[in-house]
């Protein structure tokens, strides 16, 4: 059992994290979306250590984080459309799934054998400093045990992965609060694999074409399995009122026990979402009820995460079926 330390993400902290990552040891680090468990994407052993710490099924591929478009072009094939999206939204919370480049030097474990690779250039200065310092692209899934809620604070990551990782770099609460938007760019078109704070409307404006939002029932991103982001407690959605045994999460006019945003602001709600689910999960209430959130813009991504939190759990060992 490793003892998990939280240290400040200052210059010394980043240097210590970079040294661990160079030795193949994954470190939890802040990004603008959620905390990630970062490892050297070019080292199979480092990537295996990420999977091991998370207890994640190895068929679920990881996002590779790069400093900029130039670094990404060493990993994936960029069409003119993909380049336009990178120029518009990077650095930032957009992940693109692209064909793997011929010279891609990432460990095959990262892509779990797929012929595509998920890449994103994060905006958070700590994650950017780490990529630059290590000098390699960093594979980083969300820094939580497989199947549980994503971490938006250093303490969430430390609690979820306690004894499984050595270090958490504390950069405070993350700004966006939900994971990046994932879009597959293929055959001149765009398919949304995971909604996020870069909305369909924003993508369509830059791309000048419609985004396929799919809902054909097929699982595109393996991580998009239904029971995901799961609190331990039962979750009920669209709840205007709650029972005495429920922790009521409010929004807008529905006050609840604690509110995602009492002024009904979706960006504020996204930032607080996982925090609030953690709080509700740790409370004395037996179950969780969540006020209705409008299903538009950023509200789509919030409802997507909530629906996964509320989905019926797999019957047996969750870690086998619910990547995180």
Of the residues 13, 43, 90, 95, which one makes contact with ligand TXA according to CB under 6 A: 95
CA distances 17 to 11, 170, 199, 234, Å, are: 10, 11, 32, 37
Please state the φ and ψ torsions of residue 75, each to the nearest 5 degrees: -115, -30
Closer by beta carbon to ligand TXA, 31 or else 303: 31
- 306/311 Cα distance (integer angstroms): 9
Joined tokens for residue 296: 């538009």
User: Which partner from the list Mg ion, ligand TXA, none does 256 bind, CB cut-off 5 to 8 Å by kind?
Assistant: none
Closest separation between CB of residue 282 and Mg ion, Å? 20
Closer by beta carbon to Mg ion, 299 or else 323: 323
Task: Map the footprint of ligand TXA across residues 217-246, applying CB under 6 A.
Answer: 221-224
- 310/187 Cα distance (integer angstroms): 34
55 binds ligand TXA (CB under 6 A): no
Nearest position to Mg ion, beta carbon: 142
User: Which partner from the list ligand TXA, Mg ion, none does 299 bind, CB cut-off 5 to 8 Å by kind?
Assistant: none
- 197/92 Cα distance (integer angstroms): 10
Please state the φ and ψ torsions of residue 64, each to the nearest 5 degrees: -100, 125
- 47/40 Cα distance (integer angstroms): 7
Closer by beta carbon to Mg ion, 72 or else 149: 149
39 binds ligand TXA (CB under 6 A): no
- 97/266 Cα distance (integer angstroms): 26
Nearest position to ligand TXA, beta carbon: 223
User: How does DSSP assign 192-234, residue by residue?
Assistant: EEE--SS-HHHHHHHHTS-EE---SS--SSGGG-SS-S--SSE
- 248/312 Cα distance (integer angstroms): 19
Closer by beta carbon to ligand TXA, 111 or else 303: 111
CA distance from start to end of the chain: 22
Strand 63-65, strand 116-120: pairing:
parallel
CA angle centred on 143, ends 232 and 264, rounded to 5°:
65
Query: Of 33-41, 151-159, 207-215, 278-286, which segment contacts ligand TXA by CB under 6 A?
Result: 33-41
Closer by beta carbon to ligand TXA, 149 or else 235: 149
Closest separation between CB of residue 47 and Mg ion, Å? 15
- 229/78 Cα distance (integer angstroms): 31
Asked whether the beta carbons of 84 and 53 are under 8 A apart, the reply is no
How far is C-alpha 28 from the geometric centre of its chain's CA atoms? Answer: 13
Task: Map the footprint of Mg ion across residues 139-178, applying CB under 5 A.
Answer: 142
193 binds ligand TXA (CB under 6 A): yes
Closest separation between CB of residue 318 and Mg ion, Å? 14
270 binds ligand TXA (CB under 6 A): no
55 binds Mg ion (CB under 5 A): no
Query: Of 117-125, 186-194, 206-214, 316-324, which segment contacts Mg ion by CB under 5 A?
Result: 316-324
324 binds Mg ion (CB under 5 A): yes
Please tell me the count of residues contacting Mg ion according to CB under 5 A: 2
127 to 146: interface string for Mg ion, x by CB under 5 A? ---------------x----
322 binds Mg ion (CB under 5 A): no
Kind plus residue range of the DSSP H or E element containing 306: helix 298-310
Binding interface with ligand TXA (CB under 6 A): 31, 33-34, 36, 60-63, 93, 95, 97, 111, 114, 116-118, 140-142, 179-180, 182, 193, 221-224
Binding interface with Mg ion (CB under 5 A): 142, 324
């Amino acid at each position: 059992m490793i003892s998990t330390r939280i240290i400040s993400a200052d210059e010394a902290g980043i240097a210590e994290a970079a040294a661990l990552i160079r030795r193949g040891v994954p470190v939890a680090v802040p990004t603008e979306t959620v905390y990630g468990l970062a490892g050297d994407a070019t080292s199979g052993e480092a990537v295996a250590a990420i999977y091991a710490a998370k207890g994640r099924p190895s068929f679920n591929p990881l996002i590779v984080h790069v400093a900029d478009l130039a670094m990404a072009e060493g990993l994936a094939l960029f069409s003119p459309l993909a380049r336009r999206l990178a120029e518009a939204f990077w650095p930032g919370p957009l992940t693109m799934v692209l064909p793997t480049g011929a010279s891609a030097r990432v460990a095959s474990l990262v892509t779990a054998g797929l012929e595509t690779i998920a890449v994103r250039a994060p905006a958070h200065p700590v994650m950017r400093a780490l990529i630059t310092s290590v000098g390699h692209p960093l594979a980083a899934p969300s820094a939580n045990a497989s199947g549980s809620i994503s971490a938006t604070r250093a303490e969430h990551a430390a609690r979820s992965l306690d004894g499984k990782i050595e270090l958490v770099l504390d950069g405070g609460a993350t700004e966006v609060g939900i994971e990046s938007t994932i879009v597959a760019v293929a055959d001149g078109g765009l398919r949304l694999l995971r909604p996020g704070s870069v909305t369909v409307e924003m993508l369509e404006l830059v791309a000048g074409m419609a985004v396929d939002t799919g809902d054909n029932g097929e699982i595109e991103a393996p991580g998009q399995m239904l029971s995901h982001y799961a609190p331990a407690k039962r979750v009920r959605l669209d709840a205007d009122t709650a029972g005495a045994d429920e922790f009521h999460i409010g929004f807008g006019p529905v006050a609840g026990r604690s509110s995602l945003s009492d002024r009904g602001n979706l960006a504020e709600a996204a930032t607080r979402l996982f925090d609030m689910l953690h709080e509700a999960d740790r409370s004395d209430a037996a179950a969780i009820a969540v006020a209705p959130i409008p299903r538009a813009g950023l509200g789509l991504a919030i409802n997507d995460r909530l629906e996964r939190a509320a989905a019926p759990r797999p019957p047996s060992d969750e870690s086998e079926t619910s990547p995180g």
